[in-house]
Amino acid sequence: MKLLPQRAPLLPLPPADRARQVMVALADYIQYSKLSPGDRLPAERELMATLAVGRSTIREVIRHFQALGVVEARKGSGTYLLRAISSATVHMPLSLETTHLRDALLKSLEVRRGIEAEASMVAARRRTDADIANMSQKLEVMERVHVAKGTAGPEDLEFHLAIYDATHNPLFRQLLEQMRDAFEHFFAKPFDRPDFARRSFPFHRILFNAIVAEDPEAARAATLEILAIVEEDIKEMSK
């Protein structure tokens, strides 16, 4: 008798990601209700009741949409649509399967190097006076926090987001937000060292000045210098 080849057993599927389901459902609602920028979304309680999910899930989805520049939460007023979307435009989060902090940081750095260098060059070509004011404000906050604490992680991110906004290409910001979601826990406090990448701090002002001067090559060079220091610290601190 010929034996049948062994096959892997079929196993129950894992529960669906509730946040992902809510994300798609809300995007579908926006599309089929023909909501326009400026329209208000249903209240948090209404979304919880209609979709049968908890408050934390709704807030996670709203934060995700805020990060992508899709909605704006106005205190005491509600959540408003900034640009129309559909389920086809909802972004899947990035993921990185690795158990080694050093590998995760270096892999993310490879991707960031290409995106951030290009974004700095585009920002230098397209920045407006309003962009300069925004970048300047974010940089000044970063510098104050850095002087006071010796580090400025969240403030550093806000400065780079301002550069991405100055490109006037929403995909740059969306990509950085997606990367932040995937790598945030790796960059929270790498190697338990508050001095991680501290040497890159002065180059942020150089980068800003290059963008103000509309010098794409200088902006690219400053960005690559910042990331080179980050790479050096990853390798040195992971020995």
pLDDT reported for residue 197: 75
157-173 mean pLDDT:
90
Q: What is the pLDDT of residues 3-45, one digit of tens each?
A: 544 554 545 544 557 777 888 888 888 888 888 889 999 999 9
Average pLDDT taken over every residue of the chain: 82
Q: Does domain 101-180+192-237 have CATH number 3.30.230.10?
A: no
Tell me the CATH class for 18-89. mainly alpha
Any idea where the domains of the chain sit in the sequence? 18-89, 101-180+192-237
User: Cα–Cα distances in Å, from 27 out to 16, 30, 78, 80, 179?
Assistant: 17, 5, 17, 13, 21
pLDDT reading at 239 higher than 70? yes
pLDDT reported for residue 187: 56
- Could you tell me which residues come within 8 angstroms of residue 55 by beta carbon, excluding any fewer than 6 positions away? 44, 48
pLDDT reported for residue 38: 92
Closest-CA residue to 21 (of 74, 58, 68, 72): 58
pLDDT reported for residue 28: 86
Q: What is the pLDDT of residues 84-135, one digit of tens each?
A: 777 666 655 555 555 676 787 788 888 889 999 999 999 999 999 999 999 9
160-179 mean pLDDT:
86
pLDDT reported for residue 183: 56
Q: Which residue has the higher pLDDT, 216 or 83?
A: 216
Q: What is the pLDDT of residues 183-238, one digit of tens each?
A: 555 555 666 677 777 888 999 999 999 999 999 999 999 999 999 998 998 888 87
pLDDT reported for residue 132: 98
- In whole angstroms, what is the distance from residue 161 CA to residue 157 CA? 6
pTM for this structure? 0.64
pLDDT reported for residue 14: 47
